[in-house]
Structure 1
Amino acid sequence: MSSQSLPAADFSKNMRLIGYCDQGNRPDGVQLMVHHGYAYVGHMFSKGFSVIDVRDPRNPAAVNYVSAPPDTWNIHLQAHDDLLLVINAKDMFAATEFQDERAYYSGALGEKVGTASRTSTQRHWRAGLAVYDISRPDTPFEIGFMSIDGGGIHRLWYTGGRWAYASALLDGFTDYIFITIDMSDPRRPVEAGRFWLPGMHAAGGETPSWDTSRRYGLHHPIVHGDTAYCAWRDAGMVVLNVADRTAPKLVVHRNWSPPFGGGTHNCLPLPERDLLVVLDEAVLDNQADGEKFIWVFDNREPSNPTSISTLPSPNEIDYAAKPGHFGPHNLHENRPGTFVSSEIIVATYQNAGVRVFDIRNQHEPSEIAALVPPTPSRLVDSRQGRPLVIQSADVFVDANGLIYSTDYNGGLYVMEVESWR
């Protein structure tokens, strides 16, 4: 699609749309990685994942699609060197029990999926980690798989080398826990270690100390050096020492929910400034789960991270009254080889699009750019009663500063900021 036929943004400030792709008529997307000129996009409802040629970012083109096994999600993935790691898990949003999204975002997920109290059973989905060779970037082929007993893996962190990290819904646990994965032989990944919050190991006789209507499960970690910064949904932030990958140890656990609404989704370290940027995901329509924030933490004392500010929420219209979710969903995570900054934060705000923030003054962050893509042309979301509205999901910023963003229904958008200051 040429730039002359680009869709018009609903709102833009210091930012413009330069490219668009409907991903081969599979416009639903969750996590994306841009790697060696190709975007790898995990689908929420179309199953599998797609490969988009973005070597010319103004004319992105779908070049491949890899289907998922039956009843299986491939919504999250990671790319580094010639490897693409793709999660395999129960397709939650296709399941009857999660057609009302409130059921997915409350209570112990393992109990609802049926894995918390069981040690083994016949499953109709594929659970684990798939490893693809992408030495030919447009033609991924699977070379390895790590199977797990349970619901599957939700999201990964992998930036090359021996170790990968993931959230895993394992038999016997109430929700997703932290695992380390030995990638020494990419054809035979092996779980090496695990950590969970006390109370999560139901099969081990543990009982929760928290309100069981909450989601005490790991979304995913971001790892810097020997420290894993884990977003643990309604349990807030869990920081682990992973110097021994076989035996992760707790450094600190911080939770601000309640009084705030939970849903912690990203914990991004900015080590050169002793800061953390922590995002709480909005998970229900019209802020039914409360207003969610992106927090800035002072991390000079790693045993006592302290919140010092929040990033400003979009307010040019009443987004809480707009259909769908309003609030943060995801951050660009400063992966090696991408746009890496300790001063600029890029985030998705679902029905409020993509937002760019300046945190040079960590006590007074400011928004410097924004773009809200248009309403999608059709609804791909298979759940009943979902609104046709932009829900910007993931964001990735390449080394040149180009911003790529996915949507649950709307396709892949490529954007550029006019001025970063």
Structure 2
Amino acid sequence: MLPSRDLPRPDHAHNMKLIGHSDIGGRGDGLQLMVHRGFAYIGHPWSQGFSIVDVRDPVRPGEVTYIPAPPNTWNIHLQTHDDLLLVIDALDLFADVETFRDEKTYYTRSIGETVAARKTKRAWRAGMTVYDISRPDRPRRIGQLDVDGIGFHRLWYVGGRYAYASALLDGYTDYIFVTIDMADPTRPDIVGRWWLPGMNAGAGETPTAPEGKRYALHHSLVAGNTAYACWRDGGLTLLDISDHAAPKLISHRNWSPPFGGGTHSALPLPGRDLLVVADEAVLDHEEDGRKNTWIFDIREPSNPISISSFPVPEDADYPRKGGHFGPHNLHENRPGSFVSETLIFATWQNAGIRAFDISDPYRPVETGALVPAGPAQMTDRRPGRPSVIQSADVFVDAAGLIYATDYNAGLEIIEYGG
């Protein structure tokens, strides 16, 4: 496949080739990404709303459709399945530049402490919006789940009766796990909740997170009747969700301390009884410590054991480059996308997009990398942010093409050498 002309020249490439790029209609900031029926659905952290990019020709991405968010609301995460698009609604936290002028505030204090307790009047949409995308670039709103609180953060939905979300509801210190009944997509409903002890302040629980740490669900992936949930500085839980109204704890592991927390993404590999877990780097110059992507042996779900970690990129001095250096997200093996239990794709923020062969789970090997060029312009309006790549999310389609977003640099489309 030949690349289109005038592509931004990557800073580094090994066994990967940039073949297409989109500035997403001038809104270069992207977070979660789904590619579905030839269209890329992208949530925006700074531009609010979300965009749909025609990528049926991945070498020359086409028309962009932008759907604005309601006032004071962001739509940073979303999910697609068949004719449905689920989009989170939550208070646009980064619009509060005064509160989050120092990004450390966001990552080291509960959102309930920094924001929720100060809001006396709700002026944003909180929960989830459901769209009909039978016409992929013309979403039609058909359902709404409203909640009291800040709203949802991230979703998991691959069809069936239930969806799963991280939700910050009134009375809780931060985001918790919820199950959502999707039997009627026009009227989704929360039917189950689970949280770490101490998070239900409204019921009189005492927070247990140490000073400077956040116990908050980032998101969970589900395989069978188990939800694999990552709680930032609260570590990893395996939850039995066979009763969706009453999730039950199977096991809880937390390696912060001694490691720096930020547990973000868990990818179950059920055919091998393995679990890949990425800890997000959240501060510049590794101020929060070296972050790792771990491989766990989960043959005994009540006793998950870490057996190795991914190699750390060393092709440049990334800790000194500026911005965040370390893992962020994993390609999640969604049905209909590229699915593998040996080849893992990950974003590494200022070190770009990486591929790892874990055929031997005790010795993961990097097999490809592409570090996109820095952004042509900054959409991130936080003061003092460096103009460097911060690869955020990655999606690999069934044909093996890699799609990746950045906080400022648009959508990258990449061919992997195999």
Write the deviation string for residues 175-214 of structure 1: whole angstroms up to 9, x where unpaired.
0000000011111110010001110011111002331421
Q: Report the CA distance between 1:108 and its aligned residue.
A: 1.6
Structure-to-structure mapping, 1:378-393, within 5 angstroms: 378-393=377-392
Counterpart in the other structure of 1:63: 64
* Distance in 2 between residues matched to 1:321 and 1:284, nearest whole Å: 12
SS where residue 329 of structure 1 aligns? coil
Q: Deviations over 1:308-364 (max 9, x none)?
A: 000001001110000100000000000111011000110000000000000000000
Can you list the C-alpha shifts for 1:77-114, whole angstroms capped at 9, x where unaligned? Answer: 00000000000001111112112110000122112112
Code of the aligned partner of 1:285: D
Task: Look up the match of 1:17.
Answer: 18
CA distance in 2, matches of 1:2, 1:146: 42
**Letter in structure 2 aligned against 1:361:** D
- Please name the residue that 2:43 is paired with: 42
2:131, 2:139 within 8 Å by CA — same for their partners in 1?
Answer: yes
Query: Counterparts of 1:320 and 1:380 in 2: how far apart (Å)?
Result: 23
By how many angstroms is 1:122 displaced? 2.3
More deviation in 96-105 or 174-183?
96-105
What is the aligned partner in structure 2 of residue 106 from structure 1?
A: 108
Q: Give ranges in structure 1 of 5+ residues lacking alignment.
A: none
| Inter-partner Cα distance in structure 1 for 2:101 and 2:176 | 24
TM-score norm. by structure 1 comes to 0.97
Deviation of the 1:288 alpha carbon: 0.5
Partner residue, 1:92: 93
Match of 1:52 in 2: 53
Q: Deviations over 1:353-392 (max 9, x none)?
A: 0000000000000000000000110111010111111000
Report the 3-state secondary structure (helix = DSSP H, G, I; strand = E; otherwise coil) of the residue aligned with 1:328.
Answer: coil
> For 2:328, what is the secondary structure of its paired residue?
strand
Which residue in the other structure is 2:141 paired with?
142
Aligned to 2:409: 410
**3-state SS of 1:3 partner:** coil
Give the AA of the match of 1:21. Answer: S
CA distance in structure 1 between the partners assigned to 2:125 and 2:77 by the alignment: 14
Aligned equivalents of 1:360, 1:62: Cα separation in 2: 39
In the alignment, structure 2 segments of 5+ residues that lack a partner are none
Contact 2:84 2:132 in 1 (8 A): yes
Query: Which residue does the alignment assign to 2:239?
Result: 240
Distance 1:2 1:333 in 2: 26
Which runs of structure 1 show a deviation greater than 3 angstroms over 4 or more consecutive aligned residues?
none
* Contact persistence 1:115–1:170 (CA under 8 A): no
Number of corresponding residues: 416
2:402 and 2:75 map into 1 onto residues whose CA distance is 22
Paired position in structure 2 for 1:266: 265
Measured in 2, the distance between the counterparts of 1:144 and 1:39 equals 21
Counterparts of 1:91 and 1:62, CA distance in 2:
26
Q: Is the 8 A contact 1:50 1:62 kept in 2?
A: no
Residue pairs, 1:8-407, within 5 angstroms: 8-95=9-96, 96-115=98-117, 121-407=120-406
Q: How far apart, in 2, do the equivalents of 1:285 and 1:93 lie?
A: 17
Q: Distance in 1 between matches of 2:52 and 2:85?
A: 11
C-alpha contact (below 8 Å) 1:127/1:147 kept by paired residues: yes
Tell me how far 1:115 sits from its aligned partner. Answer: 4.4
Q: Give the TM-score normalised by the residue count of structure 2.
A: 0.98
Q: Which whole-Å CA distance do the structure 1 matches of 2:382 and 2:188 have between them? A: 34
CA distance in 2, matches of 1:251, 1:409: 39
Whether contact under 8 Å (1:115, 1:151) holds in the other structure is: no
Equivalents in 2 of 1:106, 1:145: separation in Å?
31
Give the whole-Å Cα distance in 2 for the aligned partners of 1:93 and 1:125. Answer: 14
AA aligned opposite 1:222: L
Cα distance in 2 for residues equivalent to 1:226 and 1:62 = 40
2:248, 2:348 → 1: CA distance?
Answer: 33
Question: Partner letter of residue 79 of structure 2?
Answer: Q
C-alpha contact 2:3 2:18 (8 A) present in aligned 1? no
Quote the Cα distance in structure 2 between the aligned partners of 1:2 and 1:415.
9
Q: Distance in 1 between matches of 2:41 and 2:382?
A: 24
Structure 1 CA distance for aligned equivalents of residues 30 and 104 of structure 2: 21
Distance 1:194 1:356 in 2: 35
Q: Is the 8 A contact 1:108 1:212 kept in 2?
A: no
Q: How much has 1:62 moved relative to structure 2?
A: 3.4
How much has 1:2 moved relative to structure 2? 6.7
Q: Which secondary structure state, in structure 2, belongs to the residue aligned with residue 153 of structure 1? A: strand
Aligned-partner SS, 1:129: strand
Query: Does 318-327 or 89-98 show the bigger shift?
Result: 89-98
Q: Is the 8 A contact 1:6 1:19 kept in 2?
A: yes
Q: By how many angstroms is 1:124 displaced?
A: 1.6
Amino acid of the residue matched to residue 83 of structure 1? L
SS class of match (1:207): coil
Q: CA-atom RMSD, angstroms?
A: 1.2
Structure-2 change in CA distance of 1:62 and 1:236 (3 Å):
farther
CA distance in 2, matches of 1:84, 1:131: 6
Are the aligned partners of 1:282 and 1:328 in contact in 2 as well (CA < 8 Å)?
yes
Q: Partners in 2 of 1:351 and 1:402 — Cα distance?
A: 21
Distance 2:383 2:141 in 1: 34
What is the distance in 1 between the residues matched to 2:219 and 2:365?
A: 27
